[in-house]
A and B are shown apart, each in its own frame.
Chain A
Amino acid sequence: MLDTTEDYIVEIDHLGFARGERRIFDDLNIKIRRREITSIMGPSGTGKTTLLRMITGQLTPDEGTVRLNGLVVSELSRTKLYEMRREIGMLFQQGALLTDYDVFENVAFPLREHTDLPERLIRYVVLTKLHAVGLRGAARLLPSELSGGMARRVALARAIVMDPKLLIYDEPFSGLDPISTGVVVRLIRHMNDALGISSIVVSHDVNEITAVADRSYLIADGRVIASGSPQQLRADHSEFVQQFIHGMPDGPVPFHYPAADYSEQLLARVEE
């Protein structure tokens, strides 16, 4: 099948970005297919969250382009950018629920801001979304009364309340117990397939990603090191991919931070 723009919801071309002296991305190329779950993996500090900020237009790339639905994100006017964001649902690492409001009002927030729906309809929509994440019974709890896993499920309900075309998950499994992780894995799959949307999952939890992603990109040193289905990644024999997938402490990513020679430093005379 020929690849056309139609097949991709996000296209990242020759992306370059630097923070001060440090180059974060260097000629990064990623394409995200519609209706698939694409994972972006990489060691901590490789700029995964920075990449998400470029896709959503919070940061502008130094070189190259990020296209969303065929439009170059960094060239959009503020109004267009906000219009575009209505079609994206984003799940933040810690949920980022509004602490002043209860669960119901958190999920209702985008509806109240962007629509003039009557109260009955808002109630209907919010309760169905909460039911989808299994938290209809928690509608009147405050964010401070929720566990980490529950907060993330509420944030997911909020992310899908405007029926987005793209759902972005930033480290959805970090800090969750095994049961909550299992629930979130199932929800990511379920939301993607039931709503017919596209999903991007940024994470470094290899096992969970393998269970849920259709396609994965492994980034390190500002570029894509490997990509493909989880099976293809596991079969990849490059040292780095093996180190990352199997969680080995030493390898291409060294255990030791660069330092002077060990014995020399230990035996060196201390200047008084």
Chain B
Amino acid sequence: MILWIRDLSLTVRGALQTFGAVMIFLLDLFSRSPRTLVRRFPLVVAQVYNAGTLSLTIVMVSGFFVGMVLGLQGFDSLARFGAEDSLGAVAALSLFKELGPVITALLFAGRAGTAIASEIGLMRATDQLLAMEMMAVDPMDRVVTPRFLGGIIAMPLLVAIFNAIGITGTYLIGVSLMGVDSGVFWSQLHANVDLGDVIEGIVKSLIFGGAASLLAVYEGYTCIPSPEGVGRATTRTVVSSAVSVLVLDYLITSALI
């Protein structure tokens, strides 16, 4: 029993220490961000392109299928209440407020996040980060901060693409297959979705993007410089990003509702 309590307290302490380290890392990144945006703007743009294109295909395909499933399930559920006309509005609200930011963030962590973590981890393992330091170039400025900012900027763009394609998927199923009137679909969507819903989605996607890229660069930068260490950092990136995104999603939603 006492051993069990000791193990538990050690685990909790370890988790708190990691959390603290990640937060300090985040503050460091924030303090470097304005300078990086001004002085290394081309690098940030390159990273937006990198992170964005890496996840683009998977985000588009997933968005289309999520939208189509929403169309089927939404129509089926709404028809029970005779409310199938609201399909457009229901699908748009689900996508903009929840599914878009959350699923895109999970896909982003799996695709771009792991790529960033393993890239930085390999740079650490092959002494490239050390070599930069020896050339009087701070790798936090040159490598880490641009990737962090790139992720934050790329996420809302990816979410927008996910949402647009998702709505298209729902429209295809709802209107072409299930026979919802096209005009009703769009007018319901237009009437029931307001600016606040869209802003909620944008806020979420910025925060999720920040969390996913923070964890990716943190895991990569602090990984043990060995093949095994890089592998473990990549795995931890996916796991910790997924959990943080879902926890943050609950916290933000409960704060906004």
Number of interface residues, chain B, beta carbon within 8 A: 15
Query: For window 134-173 of chain B, which residues contact chain A by CB distance below 8 Å?
Result: 134-138, 142
- CB <8 Å contact, A109 and B135: yes
Q: Give the complex CA separation of A178 and B134 in angstroms.
A: 29
- CB <8 Å contact, A113 and B130: no
A86 / chain B contacts, CB cutoff of 8 Å: 135-136
Encode A155-176 as 1/0 by CB contact (under 8 A) with B.
1001000100000000000000
B78 within 8 A of A: no
- CB <8 Å contact, A58 and B131: no
B127 / chain A contacts, CB cutoff of 8 Å: 92-94, 96
Binding site for A on B (CB under 8 A): 122-123, 126-128, 130-138, 142
A94 / chain B contacts, CB cutoff of 8 Å: 126-127
- CB <8 Å contact, A99 and B126: yes
A114 within 8 A of B: yes
Q: Give the complex CA separation of A110 and B137 in angstroms.
A: 8
Binding site for B on A (CB under 8 A): 56, 58, 82-83, 85-86, 88, 90, 92-94, 96-99, 109-110, 113-114, 155, 158, 162
- CB <8 Å contact, A82 and B136: yes
Interface contacts beyond A98-B128, A158-B135, A162-B135: sample of 13 additional A-B pairs, CB < 8 Å, sorted by A: A56-B134, A83-B136, A85-B133, A85-B134, A85-B135, A85-B136, A90-B131, A90-B134, A92-B130, A93-B127, A96-B127, A96-B128, A110-B135
- In order of increasing CB-CB distance, the 10 nearest A-B pairs are A96-B131, A96-B127, A85-B136, A82-B136, A90-B134, A86-B136, A110-B135, A113-B137, A92-B127, A96-B128
B142 to chain A, nearest CB (A): 8
Question: 14 interchain pairs (CB within 8 A)?
Answer: A56-B134, A58-B133, A83-B136, A90-B131, A90-B134, A96-B126, A98-B128, A99-B122, A109-B135, A113-B136, A113-B142, A114-B136, A114-B137, A155-B131
Q: Give the complex CA separation of A158 and B131 in angstroms.
A: 10
- CB <8 Å contact, A113 and B131: no
B142 / chain A contacts, CB cutoff of 8 Å: 113
A104 to chain B, nearest CB (A): 16
Query: Which one of B126, B127, B134 has the highest number of Cβ atoms from chain A below 10 Å of its Cβ?
Result: B134
Query: Which one of A96, A97, A109 has the highest number of Cβ atoms from chain B below 10 Å of its Cβ?
Result: A96
Q: Give the complex CA separation of A97 and B132 in angstroms.
A: 10
Q: Give the complex CA separation of A158 and B123 in angstroms.
A: 17
B135 / chain A contacts, CB cutoff of 8 Å: 85-86, 109-110, 113, 158, 162
B136 to chain A, nearest CB (A): 4
